[in-house]
Amino acid sequence: MSRITVVWALLVLATLASFTLRHGAAMGFRSATVAILVIALIKVRYVMLDFMELRFAPRALRMLSEGWIVLVGSILVSLFLGNAQ
């Protein structure tokens, strides 16, 4: 199986996992939402690395992309936690 296929399968599994977090009552809503946001951004990272081939792109571009992910992730999570006080 090619790496692209493995990554696709993991992305679908991650999507189902976050769907379960939305509907399951296993977690408090705060932890569930943080987990959902983090999973979404990890998915974005793998689309960038393996589908957009950033793994083999110049380091500057890769750092810019991963920097964007970390920035968006931390802003969204902190805004959410700030509101959910």
The CA distance from 22 to 29, in Å, is 9
Give how many residues touch another protein by CB under 8 A.
48
What is the number of alpha carbons within 13 Å of residue 5 lying toward its C-beta? 2
Query: H or E stretch including 17?
Result: helix 3-23
Query: Residues 40 to 69: which contact another protein by CB under 8 A?
Result: 40-41, 43-44, 47-48, 50-59, 61, 64, 68
The answer to whether residue 18 forms part of the interface with another protein (CB under 8 A) is yes
Residue 52 near residue 4, CB atoms below 8 Å: no
Binding site for another protein (CB under 8 A): 2-5, 8, 11-12, 15-16, 18-19, 21-23, 29, 32-33, 36-37, 39-41, 43-44, 47-48, 50-59, 61, 64, 68, 71-72, 75-76, 79-80, 82-84
